[in-house]
């Protein structure tokens, strides 16, 4: 096996390395300037406080204020994008299974409190979707299986 003799000069390689470095730095700066940072506004703070109070009243563990603002923002984030879409419902239903994988997966009767958090989020962040989602949840087979 033979190796080819380098035909470019050190100066040429340094120019190419410098240009590539410059382009990467410029693209990084552009990406940082265009990246949509999560900004906390008053509406997001108020809704997060409402959700924390509602979850606390329901007896659920509450995430931190910053976590709620970061995930849900002021519009409910991914939960309120379209909670009644078939894919969102299928995702929720797939979490209500026995936990085995593949052909052994079976739906189970879940506790009534399983969907309570999502109902509270929809009630606070996107109440226009609440009635349809409540109807969907009302049709689920739930029971008091977890106890107190």
Whether 32 is covered by a domain: the verdict is: no
Q: Please give the pLDDT value at position 131.
A: 94
Domain span holding position 107: 42-143
Q: Please give the pLDDT value at position 47.
A: 95
Q: Please give the pLDDT value at position 25.
A: 98
Q: Please give the pLDDT value at position 147.
A: 65
Provide the b/e sequence for 77-110 (b: ≥16 CB within 10 Å).
eebbeebeeeebeeebeeebeeeeeeeeeeeeeb
Q: Please give the pLDDT value at position 40.
A: 60
Q: Please give the pLDDT value at position 4.
A: 79
Counting as low any pLDDT under 50, the low residues of the chain are none
Whether 111 is covered by a domain: the verdict is: yes
Whether 37 is covered by a domain: the verdict is: no
Instruction: Work out how many domains the chain is built from and give that number.
Output: 1
């Amino acid at each position: 096996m033979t190796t080819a003799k380098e035909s470019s000069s050190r100066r040429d390689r340094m120019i190419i390395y410098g240009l590539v470095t410059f382009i990467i730095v410029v693209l990084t700066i552009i990406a940082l300037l265009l990246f949509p940072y999560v900004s906390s506004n008053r509406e997001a703070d108020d809704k997060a406080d409402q959700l924390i109070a509602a979850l606390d009243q329901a007896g659920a563990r509450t995430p931190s204020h910053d976590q709620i603002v970061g995930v849900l923002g002021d519009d409910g984030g991914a939960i309120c994008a379209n909670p009644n879409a078939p894919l969102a419902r299928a995702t929720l239903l797939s979490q209500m299974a026995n936990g085995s994988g593949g052909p052994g997966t079976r739906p189970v009767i879940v506790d009534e409190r399983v969907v309570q958090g999502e109902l509270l989020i929809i009630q606070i962040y996107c109440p226009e979707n609440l009635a349809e989602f409540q109807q969907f949840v009302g049709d689920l087979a739930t029971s008091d299986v977890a106890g107190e």
